[in-house]
Amino acid sequence: MFTNLRIDSWQVLALYIVTLLVVAFLMGMRKKRIKFSYRVLSALGLGLIVGTLFGDDATIIRPIGSLYVRLIMMIVIPLVFTSIIKSFTDLKDSSKVKSIGGWSVFWLLLTTALATVIGLIYANGFNLGLDFDTSSISYTPREVVPFEEVILNLFPNNIVAHMAENQMVPVIIFALFISIAMIVERTKHPEMVEPFKNFIDSFQLIMVRMTKFVMRFTPYGVFALIANAAGRNNIDTLKALGLYIIIHYVAMITHFLIVHLPLVTFVARLNPIRFIKKIYPASIVGFTSQSSYGTLPVTIRSLTDRVGVSERIASFTAPLGANVGMNACGGIFPAMVAVITANAFGLELAVSDYFLIVLTTTIASIGIAGVPGIASIAASVVLLSLGLPLEGIGLIIGVDALIDMGRTSLNVTGTMVSATLVANHEDELNRDTFFEEQPLFNSSIE
């Protein structure tokens, strides 16, 4: 017995030493300015190795991952609240912006809602999450709520209580009411509204900075979460993560084929194959950079110089698409995480839950897109809205870097599709430009 105790103690000590070395290694990668995605992938690989080598002992470092999840929970409510208000009140009250802005928001949100449905179909069709082991996670099952109460509970009656209980949809709706009131009141008493508008802008800026701080912790959180998962789960669970990656990409490709291209073909009346050739530069930059904001210059130039969208619509809708919608990060991913979490914890989602998922992802995508870690934040909003444990994010976040490239590319593509549809509606789509033959690599977009 004494010998076994010494062996176990040495294993635990070795685990602590290895963990410190991994943390130091990841910090060194950051100091050398190695890309964030590479650091996360490195953390993923190291977590798998450590979890496999140390087995159940690897669960000792789970608090590092739990802290990461708690930090995400800390920023979700204030970030969503301020971002939604800012997103709506930034739209100036003019006829041009009303039309272009209204149609831009419509197409961005519609494609996101459809993306959510596709994510739900694939996640349910392949029963994602059933093979995950959640025995080490304590969770109190939620009560079944009648459908009429689900609808009533969407609307706030005590906003402070809703915030304290992490009830996201009432907070979002309250933010929308504030936004509408600000827009109306700004036309009557602009001098009275301006101080509050400045406060919201400053608060939102601070929250984005806080989000960046939290996202810096991602590699360490990923390392702990995946080490814990690899240590406590069998090979079938790890295979399930591989299946999740494949299904996620299949869902994104499906969305592109049955939503984006038909809209371009039948609404904008453009050749879909030619459209793909026109937008591919921005899609590729989005795939490699994993940043919708970083892709904006190429997105706008591709829309104006290759597709034929007018400058003012491209300059309006493209940045808006980096803050509203996001088909993959705001739609497909949160939907899949919700189903995976429910399946992993042995919970059954009702029809009202699926309705709530689509509604929540669509509304929440207005305010949380465009910030670092958008996919995790969006998934947090959905899980909180359904009363599911945030630990569900930890089940799959270890492989998040592997699918984030595809998600960003689909987000950028969805933005360009929406801009094209708006330009077509406003008669600001130059079809001569669209039909111009251009070289495969156009230096004008670099």
Domain ranges of the chain: 2-445
User: pLDDT at residue 50 above 80?
Assistant: yes
For residue 140, what pLDDT band results from cuts at 50, 70 and 90?
Answer: low
What is the mean predicted confidence (pLDDT) over 249-263? 97
Helix axis angle for 400-425 and 292-302, nearest 10°, is 30
Higher pLDDT, 215 or 147: 215
Nearest in space to 384 (alpha carbons), one of 133, 124, 111, 172 = 172
Token pair, residue 223, equals 């390392």
Half-sphere exposure for 414 (CA within 13 Å, toward CB) = 38
Q: What is the pLDDT of residue 6?
A: 40
Architecture of domain 2-445: Orthogonal Bundle (1.10)
Biggest CA pair distance of the chain = 83
Higher pLDDT, 347 or 234: 347
User: pLDDT at residue 31 above 70?
Assistant: yes
Higher pLDDT, 335 or 224: 335
Q: What is the pLDDT of residue 298?
A: 80
Give the span between the Cα atoms of 278 and 307, in whole angstroms: 6
Token pair, residue 102, equals 């209204």
Token pair, residue 367, equals 């305010």
Token pair, residue 322, equals 């980096």
Compute the mean pLDDT over every residue in the chain, rounded to the nearest whole number.
82
Q: What is the pLDDT of residue 446?
A: 40
**SS3 category, 19:** helix
User: pLDDT at residue 419 above 90?
Assistant: yes
Q: Which of 197-206, 239-248, 390-399 has the highest mean pLDDT?
A: 197-206
Q: What is the pLDDT of residue 282?
A: 85
Q: What is the pLDDT of residue 328?
A: 92
User: pLDDT at residue 327 above 70?
Assistant: yes
Give the span between the Cα atoms of 421 and 415, in whole angstroms: 10
Q: What is the pLDDT of residue 259?
A: 97
- Give percent of the chain above pLDDT 90: 27
Kindly report whether the global pTM for this prediction surpasses the value 0.85: no
